[in-house]
Amino acid sequence: MTSTEESLTRVRETAAEIVSGLRELLGTDDMLPRLDPVGFGSALRRAAFSLAGRPLPVARVTLDYCGGTGRAAVASVLRAAGVDVPGPAEVADDDRRYRDPAYASNAWFYLTRQQHALFAGYLRALFEHAEVDDRTRAKVDFALGQIIDATAPANFPMTNPTVLKRAFDTGGHSLLHGLRNMVRDLATNQGLPRQVTPGQFTVGRELAATPGKVVFRNRLIELIQYAAQTDTVHQVPMLFSPPWINKYYVMDLAPGKSLVEWAVKHGHTCFMISYRNPDESLRDVGMADYLREGPLAALEVIEEITGEPAANVVALCLGGTLATATAAWLAARRRPGVASLTLMNTLLDFEVPGQLGVFADPEAVANLSRLMRRDGYLPAQSMKATFDALRATDLVWNYVVNDWLLGADPAPFDLLTWNADSTRMPATMQTEYLRTCYLENQLAKGKMELAGERLDLSDVQQDAYVITAESDHIAPWRSVYTGARLLAGPQVPALVRRGRRPAGRRRGLAGRRGRTHGELVDRLDTLDRGARGPAGTPAGTGERRPSAARGRPGQLCARLSRRPPATAKRAPPMLPVDQPILPGHNEGYERATARRGCRTAGHRSLVGADGCAGRVHPRAAAPGEPVAA
What is the pLDDT confidence band of residue 361, given thresholds at 50, 70 and 90? confident
Residue 523: left (phi > 0), alpha (psi -120 to 50), or beta? beta
Are residues 66 and 18 both part of a single domain?
no
Residues paired with residue 315 on neighbouring β-strands, in sequence order:
241, 343
Q: Which of 4-8, 121-125, 514-518 has the highest mean pLDDT?
A: 121-125
Helices (H) and strands (E) in the chain, counts: 22, 15
Are residues 372 and 468 both part of a single domain?
yes
- Does the pLDDT value for residue 600 go beyond 50? no
- Does the pLDDT value for residue 21 go beyond 70? no
What stretch of H or E contains 70? helix 55-80
> CB of 554 within 8 A of CB of 238?
yes
Rounded Cα distance, 555 and 166, in Å:
49
Over the stretch 290-336, which tens digit does the pLDDT of each residue have?
999 999 999 999 999 999 999 999 999 999 999 999 999 999 999 99
Over the stretch 364-405, which tens digit does the pLDDT of each residue have?
899 889 889 888 999 988 888 888 999 999 999 999 999 999
CA distances from 103 to 93, 110, 116, 349, 471 (A): 11, 5, 12, 44, 28
pLDDT of 629: 31
Among 232-246, 287-301, 540-554, 557-571, the least confident range: 540-554
pLDDT of 560: 60
Rounded Cα distance, 470 and 504, in Å:
7
pLDDT of 381: 85
User: Whole-number mean pLDDT of the chain?
Assistant: 80
The full 3-state SS of 431-494, as one line of letters, equals: HHHHHHHHHCCHHHHCCCEECCEECCHHHCCCEEEEEEECCCCCCCHHHHHHHHCCCCCCEEEE
Are residues 63 and 124 both part of a single domain?
yes
pLDDT of 574: 54
What stretch of H or E contains 306? helix 297-306
Phi and psi at residue 191, in whole multiples of 5°? 80, 10
pLDDT of 36: 78
% of the chain with per-residue pLDDT over 90: 57
Rounded Cα distance, 484 and 465, in Å:
9
pLDDT of 360: 87
pLDDT of 469: 86
DSSP 495-545: EEE--SS---TTTTT--STT--SSEEES--S---TT---STT--TTS--B-
Amino acid 18 reads I
Establish if 49 belongs to a structural domain: yes
Establish if 157 belongs to a structural domain: yes
Over the stretch 568-589, which tens digit does the pLDDT of each residue have?
655 566 554 333 322 222 333 2
What is the pLDDT confidence band of residue 347, given thresholds at 50, 70 and 90? very high
pLDDT of 125: 96
Residue 255: how many other CB atoms lie within 10 Å: 15
Rounded Cα distance, 43 and 34, in Å:
16
What is the pLDDT confidence band of residue 612, given thresholds at 50, 70 and 90? very low
Are residues 138 and 228 both part of a single domain?
no
> CB of 615 within 8 A of CB of 627?
yes
% of the chain with per-residue pLDDT over 70: 74
What stretch of H or E contains 227? none
Establish if 75 belongs to a structural domain: yes
Please tell me which residue, 25 or 101, carries the higher pLDDT value.
101
Establish if 568 belongs to a structural domain: no
Please tell me which residue, 425 or 17, carries the higher pLDDT value.
425
Q: Which of 33-37, 195-199, 451-455 has the highest mean pLDDT?
A: 451-455
- Does the pLDDT value for residue 39 go beyond 70? yes
Are residues 481 and 536 both part of a single domain?
yes
> CB of 207 within 8 A of CB of 614?
no
Are residues 627 and 547 both part of a single domain?
no
Are residues 233 and 165 both part of a single domain?
no
Are residues 316 and 389 both part of a single domain?
no
Nearest-5° Cα angle at 127, 125 to 132: 140
Q: How far is CA 436 from the centre of its chain?
A: 20
Establish if 22 belongs to a structural domain: yes
Residue 502: how many other CB atoms lie within 10 Å: 20
Nearest-5° Cα angle at 477, 383 to 541: 125
Cut 0.95: pTM above it: no
Nearest-5° Cα angle at 490, 450 to 338: 40
Are residues 467 and 359 both part of a single domain?
yes
Could you give the 3-state DSSP secondary structure of residue 118?
A: helix
Residues paired with residue 466 on neighbouring β-strands, in sequence order:
343, 493
Select from 536, 562, 588 the last residue of a domain. Answer: 562
- Does the pLDDT value for residue 531 go beyond 50? no
pLDDT of 326: 97
Rounded Cα distance, 79 and 389, in Å:
36
Over the stretch 152-202, which tens digit does the pLDDT of each residue have?
999 999 999 999 999 999 999 999 999 999 999 998 888 899 999 888 888
> CB of 119 within 8 A of CB of 150?
no
pLDDT of 533: 32
Q: Strand pairing of 463-469 and 491-497?
A: parallel
Establish if 204 belongs to a structural domain: no
> CB of 210 within 8 A of CB of 271?
no
Q: Which of 577, 591, 575, 579 is nearest to 623 (CA)?
A: 575
Q: Which ranges of 81-106 would DSSP assign to H, the alpha helix?
A: 102-105
- Does the pLDDT value for residue 101 go beyond 70? yes
Could you give the 3-state DSSP secondary structure of residue 377?
A: strand
pLDDT of 559: 57
Residue 208: left (phi > 0), alpha (psi -120 to 50), or beta? left
pLDDT of 170: 95
Establish if 207 belongs to a structural domain: no
- Does the pLDDT value for residue 601 go beyond 80? no
Q: How far is CA 552 from the centre of its chain?
A: 21
pLDDT of 246: 87
Select from 401, 423, 445 the last residue of a domain. Answer: 423
Establish if 605 belongs to a structural domain: yes
pLDDT of 525: 36
> CB of 338 within 8 A of CB of 330?
yes
CB within 8 A of 474, min separation 6: which ones?
Answer: 317, 345, 354, 355, 356, 387, 390, 505
Catalytic amino acids?
A: 317
> CB of 232 within 8 A of CB of 269?
no
Are residues 125 and 69 both part of a single domain?
yes
Rounded Cα distance, 565 and 233, in Å:
9
What is the pLDDT confidence band of residue 535, given thresholds at 50, 70 and 90? very low
Please tell me which residue, 272 or 493, carries the higher pLDDT value.
272
Count the domains in the chain: 5
Q: Once rounded to an integer, what is the mean pLDDT over residues 31-58?
A: 86
Are residues 45 and 76 both part of a single domain?
yes
Are residues 146 and 20 both part of a single domain?
no
pLDDT of 193: 94
CATH for 453:
3.40.50.1820
- Does the pLDDT value for residue 268 go beyond 70? yes
Q: Which domain holds residue 60?
A: 36-169
